[in-house]
Amino acid sequence: MNANQPRSARVASSQVGLMLLIVCGAFTILSRQFLTPGNLLNVCTSASVVAIVGLGMTLAIASGNFDLSVGSTAAFAGCVTMSLVQRIGVAPAILAGLATGASVGLINGLIVTELGVPAFIATLGMLTIVRGAALIYTGGRDIYLYGQTQYKILSSGFAPVLLALALAFVLWFVLQHTRFGRHILATGSNAASARRVGVRTSLVLLGVFSIVGATAALSGLVLSAQVLTGNGRLATGLELSAIAVVVLGGTPLTGGKASISGSVLVAVINNGLNLLNISIFYQNVTLGLLLLGAIALEALGHRRTKQLTTP
Amino acid sequence: MKNLTRTSKLLLSIFALIFTATCLTQNSAAQGSAKKKIGFSVYDMQYGFFQEMEKGTREAAQAAGYDYVLVDQKSSESTMVSATQDLINQGISALIISPFKPDALGPIVDAAKEKKIPVVIDDIGGGGTDYDVIVISDNEKGGILAAEYIDSVLKSRPNNSKKVASITCEPSAVYAARRNAGFEKRIKELGYQVVATLSGNSKQEEGYRVAKDILSAHPDVAAIFSCNDPMAVGAAQAIADSGKSGVKDVLVVGFNADEIALQAIKAGQMGATIQQVPREMGKMTVDLATKLMNGEKPQYSKADKREVYVPVNLITAKEAEALLKK
Amino acid sequence: MSIRQTDQPTIPDAPATGNTINQLDWDLLWERFGIAVVTVVIWLIAGLTTPGFANTDNLVSVLRQSAFVGVSAVGMTIAIIAGAFDLSVGSTQALCAWAAVSVAKLAGVFPAFAVAVTLGGIVGLCNGFLVSLVRIPAFIATLGTMFLVNGLTYIVTNGQTARFSGKPFVWWGNGQVMGLPVPSLVFLGCALVGVAILHRTSFGRFVYAIGSNREAANVAGVPIVKTTILIFVVVGLFTGLGAMLLGARLYSAGPGLEPGFELNVIATVVLGGTRLAGGRGSMLGTVAAAILFATLANVLNLNHVDAFVQRVVVGLVLLLALSVEGVRRRLAEYWTKRAARTSQASQPVREDQL
């Protein structure tokens, strides 16, 4: 499992940026509605939802792991919050939801560090467990809070975008400018060496997974705020979207910046195809082509630079 | 490494021995119990619709004095076949199944026929197999009802754009797709234009996202029909978030009459939904199973396809209130 | 022969305690046979406690069900031993199964088999090309192929499922030979072929080499590019075969068949004892794990366990099985630390120990 790709972030971001420009240009020409402020806000909002969990996933990948349970965690947190909003108030309920996500993340971390189970499998197991837990918690019923205006704040206007940007900044800062961040990167490149120089990799991983869980929960809260429903089926498949946008965005090792551009690109494509009333079949094909194309270009570019620099 | 190969062989032979031993001491699954057993294989208990269907089936089976066994297909055709096989192997006297993928019913019906177990299908579709009877709500008719309802409401809004949109379920749900097909055909006949047909993948949050895109592309869209209620509620929320009304500005109509839709309709956030009656359908299937187990022939609505129709009803604000109280 | 290079070890560190030889044996034994033993034990327990389990029809059904994930898992085992994995097997299976059913309808069983396996091989070829020549990491390349093939299948089929119930075709998924289900026999055959590939061909040796230490393998002259491509082709071929069996079993196939299949396959391989890090693996483990998953689903159904709870149980079993080694190691560390502390306390410190 190769989580360490020694490529320059600048190369990656510019590639995605270029693709973004091309795609935006195309859609602007093809659809009158694309460049309208309302539509652009929609694009940014749906990008933000995936970006929030994508940012957490970036952290996980930077530490050398994946987290496949983020979709289930998002659903569970959404269910917990929605079930509590009317009983303990909006803010406490939100905190409870985030805490739920962080706890799930912590459990993931413990399974990886204490039980020695590889992250891929640990989170794969938790994927089914947490999904089952969410369904058991709600008894399979949907909790619809149709009158709830306060909670809506999470999903209205610029809130999701602001949340994503704030999170991006915080995580970028953590990765680049704190000791914790350096430890995360060290653990990601070579856990054994990191341990030898004194990095407490177990604690680092516990922290990382808890953060991933919390970001997944936040994503779930925003989604459930959009539809004002807590349901156990929420966000199925979110983990793959998160990984896809992280990968698209370029090198995980430099943090936040990478993930935002990837999620914007995917959101733009989905939105544009919807505006043009193009079948959903093509959305998957496009995503696949994008992923492969982006990484391929990057890999080939890197190879050429290598050839140029080696005597 | 010779030790390991020897041990592998040893383990395989133990396995084979156990297998043979259990075959030789074969117990027939039905342990001479006087009660008849009814098996119900359900599409996916994650959905309110099927929870209701299961409730109706279970209550009717228990009221009729049968043993009742349930398996969940968990939205997987492979699980549908293997889990239903588990039912068949438990010595049930009748099989009721609400199939995730009717096209994959072939092996199930064949296996049931081999054991002389009557097969009653509850909704979705029959997959062209040799089932004994299928209880089916008319998906296409439901779509038509929705179209006619939308027309009746929009008629009183003379300046409406005559544009409508249609949100479909996940692409593999081909039987649910008949709802949208029926809707689009009828609404076009009534003189409207279908400006967008987009898939929400049957997911509530995607219904939200897709509805937002529809509103962006066609700000003057007059109505949205959704293949299921979760997506309809999502769409209604999207419309509310855009500062509009899911009743007065963009009329939203769903399908299923799930609890969340009834609540949304009562709260004035969406216009209507098409009701299927899953609990009654569950009861009907048990009654039909009883008939079949007694060797009687059921009364078909359409004999050549062995179909028993269940009417679908339009549920607007008036009816929603009453339904919620039940 | 090879130039020694310092690399991060891909094989997990052996515990630095006394009694090393015994510890390694336990780990190795558990890895190779653990799941097989667990499966046998569960069969015994289930046979005694779960009504309806120990009857021929049911056991045949369980074995049959294990084959569809199993055949693909055989190929995946080889890939994971080499340190790669393939996320596109789910989408590939849907495409190949649909093709198999459609071709069977038109031309019969053998052409269906040929088309399914070939299509699988072609997807594998693409994956192999992307990973070895374009140098995209396997995880990402196969993630991309997964989306691509999924979308293409929908487009080609226009979202429609193909259906065919011809007896010679469906026999491959539903029939029995000497009381054993046909797909299971195919599964067994594939496992044996897989073992033969791994242990009796130079390709197999290369797979192990690349999995243990890629750089060293490269320096030692292992044809990395060719082997990598072949690995993905092998995964694709097995997946195509399994797809045909599944199409036969279901009398049908279409786009969106079995979402999450790829994760089930990978979980089966890892549960069977093959390390994700690569370098070693157990085909017996893969077979046992496939049977174990099918058994688990069956036992849960026979015991009428609620569907939501079933999800939790399946995840727990996976985690439990994979924690065994970690827990055992922890306990061993704890005990030996304790022993070392008590023995050190009773011995004077010697100069050469400082």
CATH assignment at residue A216: 1.10.3470
Asked whether the CA dihedral C187, C160, B165, B135 is positive or negative, the reply is negative
More confident site: C245 or A256? C245
Cα(C59)–Cα(B134) distance, integer angstroms: 30
Q: What's the length of chain B?
A: 326
Taking 60 as the threshold, does the pLDDT of residue B33 lie above it?
no
Contact A211, A59 (CB under 8 A): yes
pLDDT above 90 covers what percent of chain B? 75
- The reply to whether residue C311 touches residue A111, judged by beta carbons under 8 angstroms, is no
User: Residue A237 has what pLDDT?
Assistant: 87
Give the pLDDT confidence score for residue B11 in this predicted structure: 64
- What is the distance in angstroms between the Cα of B271 and the nearest Cα belonging to chain A? 14
Band (A98; pLDDT cuts 50, 70, 90):
very high
| Average pLDDT score, chain B | 90
Cα separation, B169 vs B254, in Å, equals: 11
Residue type, A29: I
| Beta bridge partners of residue B294, listed in sequence order | none
B217 closest CB neighbour out of A31, A142, A235: A31
pLDDT (0 to 100) of residue C70: 97
Residues A119, A208 contacting (CB under 8 angstroms):
no
Given a cut of 70, is residue A28 above it in pLDDT?
A: yes
Of C58, C255, C257, the CB nearest to B77: C257
Q: Which residue has the higher pLDDT, A74 or B158?
A: A74
Model confidence pLDDT, tens digit, residues C267-326: 999 999 998 888 889 999 999 999 999 999 999 999 999 999 999 999 999 999 888 878
pLDDT of C7 higher than 80 = no
Chains A–C, number of C-beta pairs less than 8 Å apart: 152
Q: Which residues contact B14 (CB under 8 A, 6 or more apart)?
A: C40
pLDDT at C11: 42
Residues of B in contact with C174 (CB under 8 A): 107, 110
Q: How many angstroms away from the CA of C318 is the closest CA of chain A?
A: 6
Q: How far, in Å, CA of A8 to CA of A18, rounded?
A: 16
Query: Does residue C25 surpass a pLDDT of 80?
Result: no
Q: Which of A133, A288, A295 lies closest to C151 in CB terms?
A: A288
Q: Is residue A307 part of a domain?
A: no
Q: Is the CB of residue C315 less than 8 Å from the CB of residue A72? A: no
Bridge partners (DSSP) listed for residue C201? none
* CA-based nearest residue in chain C for residue A68: C263
- The answer to the question of residue A311 being in a domain is no
Smallest CA–CA separation between A157 and chain C, in Å? Answer: 31
Q: Was domain B139-276+317-325 assigned CATH 3.30.70.100?
A: no
Best C318, C320, C324, C334 residue to mutate vs chain A (most A CBs within 10 Å) = C318
* DSSP label at residue C351: G
Suggest the residue from B195, B209, B229, B266 to mutate for an interface test with chain A (most A CBs closer than 10 A). Answer: B209
Question: Could you tell me which chain C residue has the CA closest to the CA of B22?
Answer: C54
Instruction: Please give the average per-residue pLDDT across C113-128, as a whole number.
Output: 97
Sign of the four-CA dihedral B217, B223, B229, B235: positive
- Beta carbons within 10 angstroms of residue B6's beta carbon: 10
CA nearest neighbour of C246 among C326, C174, C341:
C174
DSSP secondary structure string, chain A? --------HHHHHHHHHHHHHHHHHHHHHH-TTTTSHHHHHHHHHHHHHHHHHHHHHHHHHHTT---TTHHHHHHHHHHHHHHHHHHH-HHHHHHHHHHHHHHHHHHHHHHHHTS---HHHHHHHHHHHHHHHHHHHHTT--EE-TT--SGGGGGSTTHHHHHHHHHHHHHHHHHHHSHHHHHHHHHHH-HHHHHHTT--HHHHHHHHHHHHHHHHHHHHHHHHHHHTEE-TTTTTTHHHHHHHHHHHH--GGG-HHHHHHHHHHHHHHHHHHHHTT--THHHHHHHHHHHHHHHHHHHHHHHHHHHHH--
What residue numbers bound the domain in which A133 lies? 9-302
Residue type, B71: V
Angle between helices C56-81 and C202-212 (to 10 degrees): 70
Interface test with C, best of B31, B84, B90, B199 (most C CBs within 10 A): B90
Best probe of the B interface among A146, A153, A275, by most B CBs < 10 A, is A146
Length of chain C: 354
d(CA C86, CA C104): 27
For chain B, the straight-line distance linking the first and the last C-alpha, in angstroms and rounded, comes to: 69
The residue with tokens 């046992």 is C288
More confident residue, A157 or B7: A157
Per-position DSSP letters for A69-129, written without gaps between them: THHHHHHHHHHHHHHHHHHH-HHHHHHHHHHHHHHHHHHHHHHHHTS---HHHHHHHHHHH
Phi-psi region of C305 (alpha: psi -120 to 50; beta: other; left: phi over 0): beta
CA dihedral B171, B172, B177, B180 (to 10 degrees): -10
Q: Does A193 touch chain C (CB under 8 A)?
A: yes
Record: contact B172-C159, CB cut-off 8 A: yes
Percent of chain C surpassing pLDDT 70: 90
Q: What is the pLDDT of residues B46-105, one digit of tens each?
A: 998 999 999 999 999 999 999 999 999 999 999 999 999 999 999 999 999 999 999 999
B213/A231 touch (CB, cutoff 8 Å), yes or no: no
What is residue A192's predicted lDDT score, i.e. its pLDDT? 85
For testing the chain A interface, which of C263, C275, C300 should be mutated: the one with the most A CBs within 10 Å?
C263
Q: What span, in angstroms and rounded, lies between the C-alpha atoms of B73 and B45?
A: 8
Q: Which residues in chain A are contacts of C148 at CB distance < 8 A? A: 284-285, 288-289, 292
Residue A142 contacts residue B258 (beta carbons within 8 Å): yes
Give the DSSP H/E element, type plus range, for residue C247. helix C224-250
Alpha-carbon span A56 to A215, nearest angstrom: 6
- Which segment of B126-130, B280-284, C9-13 scores lowest on mean pLDDT? C9-13
Query: Chain C partners of B29 at a C-beta cutoff of 8 Å?
Result: 51-52, 55, 57-58
What percentage of chain A carries pLDDT values higher than 70? 88
- Per the model's pLDDT, the better-predicted residue between A224 and C18 turns out to be A224
Q: Which residues of C touch A120 (CB under 8 A)?
A: 266, 270, 276
From the list A146, A277, A281, which residue is nearest B263 (CB)?
A146
Task: Of A238-252, B296-310, C61-75, give the lowest mean pLDDT range.
Answer: A238-252
How many whole angstroms separate alpha carbon C327 and alpha carbon B147?
62
- Give the Cβ contact number of residue A147 at 10 Å: 10
Tokens of A156: 């209205």
Give domain status of residue A2, yes or no. Answer: no
Assigned CATH topology for domain C20-336: ABC transporter involved in vitamin B12 uptake, BtuC (1.10.3470)
Across B23-37, B50-64, B178-192, least confident range? B23-37
Q: Where are the domains of chain B?
A: 37-137+278-310, 139-276+317-325
Q: Is B48 on the interface with A (CB under 8 A)?
A: yes
* C-alpha–C-alpha distance, residues C54 and B23, integer Å: 8
Residue A16 lies in a domain: yes
CA distance B291 to B276: 23
ipTM here: 0.87
- Taking 3-state DSSP, the helix, strand and coil percentages for chain B, each rounded to the nearest 5, stand at 50, 20, 35
Range among A271-280, C115-124, C126-135 rated most confident: C115-124
Q: Read off the pTM.
A: 0.89
Cβ-based contacts under 8 A for chains A and B: 101
**Every domain of chain C and the residues it spans:** 20-336
Most confident residue range from B30-39, C21-30, C233-242? C233-242
Taking CB atoms and an 8 Å limit, are B210 and A274 in contact across chains? yes
Structure confidence at residue A217 (pLDDT): 97
Q: How confident is the model at residue C247 (pLDDT cuts 50, 70, 90)?
A: very high
Q: CA B48, CA C290: separation in Å to the nearest integer?
A: 32
> Rounded to an integer, what is the distance from CA A189 to the centroid of its chain?
21
Position A152 scores a pLDDT of 87
Does B46 contact A at CB distance below 8 Å?
A: yes
Tell me the average pLDDT across C184-213. 95
Its CATH class, for the domain covering B37-137+278-310, is alpha beta
State the Cα torsion B61-B63-B66-B70 to the nearest 10°. 40
Chains touching B, CB cut-off 8 Å, 3+ pairs: A, C
Contact A218, A163 (CB under 8 A): yes
Neighbours of B34 (CB within 10 A): 6
SS3 for C70-126, per residue?
HHHHHHHHHHHHCCCCCCCHHHHHHHHHHHHHHHHHHHCHHHHHHHHHHHHHHHHHH
Identify which has the larger pLDDT, B32 or B15: B15
Banded pLDDT at A147 (limits 50, 70, 90): confident
**φ, ψ dihedrals at B199, nearest 5°:** -95, 135
Q: Do C144 and A295 touch (CB under 8 A)?
A: yes
Q: How many domains does chain A have?
A: 1
Tell me which H or E stretch contains B39. Answer: strand B37-42
- Name every chain A residue with its beta carbon within 8 A of the beta carbon of C311: 128-129, 131-132, 135
pLDDT at A199: 87
Sign of the CA dihedral with A135 first, then A136, A140, and A143 last: negative
For residue B207, the distance in angstroms to the closest alpha carbon of chain A comes to 9
Instruction: Tell me whether residues C310 and B110 touch, CB distance under 8 A.
Output: no
pLDDT band at A311 (very low <50, low <70, confident <90, very high): very low
Question: C264 CB near a chain B CB, below 8 Å?
Answer: no
**C56 and chain B: CB distance < 8 Å anywhere?**
yes
Contact C301 B104 (CB under 8 A): no
Which of B46, B51, B195 minimises the CB distance to A233?
Answer: B46
What pLDDT, on a 0 to 100 scale, did the predictor assign at position A6?
42
Non-local (6+) Cβ contacts of C257 within 8 A are: B77, C93, C94, C97, C98, C246
> CB count, 10 Å around CB of A28?
13
Nearest in space to B278 (alpha carbons), one of B158, B142, B122, B58: B122
Distance from CA of residue A240 to its chain's centroid? Answer: 9
Dihedral of CA atoms B1, B2, B3, B6 in degrees, nearest 10, equals: 130
Task: Give the pLDDT band of residue B165 (cuts 50, 70, 90).
Answer: very high
Question: What is the enclosing helix (H) or strand (E) of B274?
Answer: strand B272-275
C314 and chain B in contact, CB less than 8 A: no
For residues A114 and A112, give the distance between their C-alpha atoms in angstroms, rounded to a whole number.
6
Residue A114 with chain C: CB contacts under 8 Å: 326, 330
pLDDT digits (tens, 9 = 90+) for A40-83: 999 999 899 999 999 899 889 888 888 999 999 999 999 999 99
Q: What is the overall mean pLDDT for chain C?
A: 88
Nearest residue, CB atoms, C56 vs list B26, B81, B87: B26
Half-sphere exposure of B21 (CA within 13 A, CB side): 10
Interface-testing mutation among A291, A298, A305, A307, with chain C (most C C-beta atoms within 10 A):
A291
Q: Given a contact as 3+ CB pairs under 8 Å, which chains touch C?
A: A, B
Whether A34 maps to a domain, the answer reads yes
